[in-house]
Amino acid sequence: MAATSTEPVTIALVEDDDEARKRLVASIRSDPSLRLVGEYRTGGEALAGLSGGAPDVFLVDLGLPDMHGLEVVRRIAARYPACDILVVTIFGDEESVIGALEAGARGYLLKGALEHDIAEDIRHLRNGGSPLSPVIARQVLKRLVPDTASVAQLTRREAEILNAIARGFTYAETANLLHLSVQTVHTHLKNIYRKLAVHSKTEAVFEADRRRLL
Amino acid sequence: MNKLLGALLWLAAIPALAEDGPRVKTFERAESPASWVWGFPDHDRFQKWTEVVLPHNWFRDPPRGTDVWYRIRFTLDDSDPPYRSHSLYLPRLPLADLTVYVNRQPIWKLSERYADGAALTAIVIPVPPGMLRAGENVVHLRAKGYPQWYHGIPRVHFGDTQLLSGRAAMRELIQGRMILMSAAAFGALGLLALWLWARGGRDPLLFWYAISGISLLAATVLWYLSLWRDVSDLRLALIFLRFDGWLMPLLILHLRLARIRRPRLEAVLWLAMLAAVASIALRGPWQWLAWSGWGILFAALPALFTIPLLRSPELRRQPAVVLLLVADVAAAAMNLHDWALRVGWIDFDRPYLVYFVPPFVMLAAAVPIMERLMAGVAATRRMNVELERRVAAKARQIEANHEQLREAQRAQALADERRRIMADMHDGLGARLLSLLSVAQSGNARPEELSEGIAAALDDLRLTIDSVQPVEGDVGVVLGNVRHRMRSVFERAGIKFLWNVSTLPRMDDLTPERILAIQRIFLEVFSNTIKHSGARTVAVSAARVPGAVRIVIADDGRGFEPAAVRNGNGLANLKLRAAQAGGTLLIDSGAGRGTRVTLLLPFRDEELPPGLPGTGEDKASYPVPGISPEPSSA
């Protein structure tokens, strides 16, 4: 997004496992384009530490001792809409990733992948979208049925993009396939993430309404 | 009910209220021969006449013989108003026959006009012009009848025809049309009861109600139209049914309302009823007994009928019962009136009320009968509701059982899946970690070797987890996910993908087990490509072909001679995995021409046509996509 080569991207992270945190911190510090501004062990610490302002990127481990990582994501996303939140997961499984995206995260990092990839992933994220696995794309497609009346649904173009990603095409291939620029694909993906978060809120409201009516 | 009774009594009183005007003479006295007469009495100069009072009630004051003469003498003078025409008017004719003479000339004979039943008919007899004279005129009446049948002579009126016709019409309304109308109403109720009886229930009470109503209507209509000129026995039976047929069902209705259920008693009563009708129709020796027996029943109506109902205070509060009781009492009052009329205690000229009794009581009886019917209908409806409720409860129970069954099936599937994953972990991840452990424990492990081994173990774990991710039956997602997982490996090896996976139809039976097998095939093929082929480009295509999804992985590497492979374990392993994936695998390679692996995954419900690649037959008929320059459109 607004990241330029001259100004490093500020990063904060919350991770309860000391080893993992150390490795993340080391990986971030090794990259000059990234600047660590806060590291926290618990969700409470993170929320308190970020009360004054948010970094450009916030890394959240989902398994925190005091609260669920999704709760931290939800609160930070609500308070700082401009902050790019990435959840850190070992497996990138559908349940935790979709949950994170619906809570307001912009993507996820695979824990245990080679560490130099983290900076790469963060750059991807700042450019408009972290790698989206085909499984996740398929699930997003399933949730946001295209071309229904709701504002939170997908446009036909967004559905085409998700469909291509679900079949294993990279962003570049997808752009080529649909005669778009890669940047346009990224923009569409950002919109898709936003819609997923809106959709989950709409669903929640709908569900609450339904229960009250019942 | 009391209002109705009052109205009836008022109507009955109308003739008595009619005052004589100046244009009408009412004769309340007449003369009758003192002894039995042969021929026209005035021809016998020795005949002595004695005075009788009109109306002359033969029950109270029996005449001699059944052929009785009456003489009325009156004078007309110039002071009498000028009449357009003169008539004689008799409000009732309770006689078998009557002949009227004016100044010794016969002018009218009852049996020529009415066969019978004239008792209720008000008669206006016009006097032909020229027969009357100024001074004394004389009217002779020759009456036939039976004292025991309540015959007699009413008052005789003489005067203006128009005025007397008006009175006759009023009288006719009460003792003719109103009886007919009430009989028609009861007849309609009878038809309704018959319909209800036929529709369901088959309640004898309802049937007899129908018979009573219909026979009353039939008898009344026949009587009114005077269709029968002779008194046949069949007609007598009909008359009996009309007057008394309703008594039996009514009695049973009263018993039932009083909750007295005596099937035997009821059967005896029905039989008695049938016997009475039969004995009258057949003019048997018991005819008189039937008539008088029912007459007694008729008279005992209030006592017989009301006492059972009056015994229970709870019953007395029911509106239908109250209505019936009132009707019983009213019927008794009407019977008492008619009885008093016959024996001469009240004016003989008043109309009989007995004809109103059956319709009146049966209309009242219709209410509890209908109520019973409605109660039956309501009970049926309640039963239906209850039945529906039970069916719904049963359906819920069955649904719950189904849910339990589904739950058990889910649990079973989960257990199977757990078993499969455990077995997989045991053979794959577990074995890998054990060998890593022994390498680490040996003390001379290189760090790269260890980290590579651990990374491989992690990949294996991810593979297992990926196999249970939701892919919505989409093979394309499975392929894409393998590529996604391995992207950094391919990037490091400098291999380029030509990716051509089309949108594939859903495969409903794509189980985690099959997914895992497909993933392993791809990992195996890709790692062979990276390690051995020296390929720069790998083309992956997946498309629907008749009956199956066909996946082709082709590289531009150096290829190999399948026959010359020393250690065939890898290939055999691939074939085994293909079988686990529910498909077939074909490897096509040769030195210097790359490798092409084709995996064919058939759809569950579709027959695989012969000659498909992968079945080992005619390959040429299904061109395998080679390395295409660009992925084609989605």
Query: What is the mean pLDDT of the segment spanning B598-622?
Result: 59
Asked if A142's CB is within 8 angstroms of B634's CB, the reply is: no
Asked if A173's CB is within 8 angstroms of B499's CB, the reply is: yes
Whether residue B55 has a cis bond before it, omega within 30° of 0:
yes
Contact between B374 and B320 (Cβ < 8 Å):
no
* pLDDT higher than 70, residue B294: yes
Query: In A, which residues are within 8 Å of B489 by CB distance?
Result: none
Which distant-in-sequence residues (6+ apart) come within 8 Å of B350 by Cβ?
B12, B13, B15, B16, B337, B341
* pLDDT higher than 60, residue A149: no
For the stretch B464-514, pLDDT in tens is 888 888 888 888 999 998 888 887 778 888 888 889 898 888 888 888 888
Across all residues in chain B, what is the average pLDDT? 79
Contact between B467 and B516 (Cβ < 8 Å):
yes
For the stretch B39-61, pLDDT in tens is 787 766 667 888 898 888 888 88
pTM: 0.50
B461, B465, B631 ranked by CB distance to A173: nearest: B631
A93, A112, A167 ranked by CB distance to B465: nearest: A93
C-alpha pair distances (Å), B230 with each of A27, B8, B114, B234, B413: 130, 32, 10, 11, 95
Query: In A, which residues are within 8 Å of B501 by CB distance?
Result: 167-169
Distance from CA of A112 to the nearest CA of B (A): 8
Query: In B, which residues are within 8 Å of A117 by CB distance?
Result: 488
Residue B381 has phi, psi (to 5 degrees) of -65, -45
Q: 3-state class of B24 per DSSP?
A: strand
Question: Which of B37-51, B68-82, B148-162, B365-379 tops mean pLDDT?
Answer: B148-162
Specify the pairing of strand B152-153 against strand B135-144: unpaired
* pLDDT higher than 60, residue A113: no
Nearest CA in chain B to A131: B484
For the stretch B555-566, pLDDT in tens is 888 888 777 665
Asked if B481's CB is within 8 angstroms of A91's CB, the reply is: no
Question: Which of B66-70, B493-497, B552-556 tops mean pLDDT?
Answer: B552-556
Ranges B225-229, B313-317, B546-550: which has the least confidence: B225-229
DSSP string of chain A, one letter each residue: ----SSSPEEEEEE-S-HHHHHHHHHHHHT-TTEEEEEEESSHHHHHHHTTT---SEEEEESB-SSSBHHHHHHHHHHH-TTSEEEEEESS--HHHHHHHHHHT--EEEETTS-THHHHHHHHHHHTT-----HHHHHHHHHHS-TTSSSTTSPPHHHHHHHHHHHTT--HHHHHHHTT--HHHHHHHHHHHHHHHHHHHHHHHHHHHHHHHH-
- Kindly indicate the confidence band of residue B186, based on its pLDDT and cuts at 50, 70 and 90: confident
- Kindly indicate the confidence band of residue B385, based on its pLDDT and cuts at 50, 70 and 90: very high
Question: Which of B151-155, B173-177, B309-313, B460-464 tops mean pLDDT?
Answer: B151-155
Distance from CA of A79 to the nearest CA of B (A): 32
Nearest CA in chain A to B484: A133
Ranges A37-46, A151-160, B376-385: which has the least confidence: A151-160
Query: In A, which residues are within 8 Å of B553 by CB distance?
Result: none
For the stretch B335-375, pLDDT in tens is 888 888 878 888 888 888 877 887 778 888 888 777 777 78
Q: What's residue B115's pLDDT?
A: 56
Asked if B471's CB is within 8 angstroms of A173's CB, the reply is: no
Q: What's residue A204's pLDDT?
A: 60
Write the ipTM. 0.81
Nearest CA in chain A to B631: A177
Of B414 and B201, the one with more pLDDT: B414
A91, A131, A142 ranked by CB distance to B462: nearest: A91
* pLDDT higher than 90, residue B550: yes
Distance from CA of B473 to the nearest CA of A (A): 11
Q: What's residue B21's pLDDT?
A: 59
Query: What is the mean pLDDT of the segment spanning A63-68?
Result: 85
Which residues of chain A approach chain B closer than 8 Å at the C-beta? 91, 93-94, 112-114, 117, 131, 133-135, 138-139, 142, 160, 163-170, 173, 176-178
Q: What's residue B3's pLDDT?
A: 58
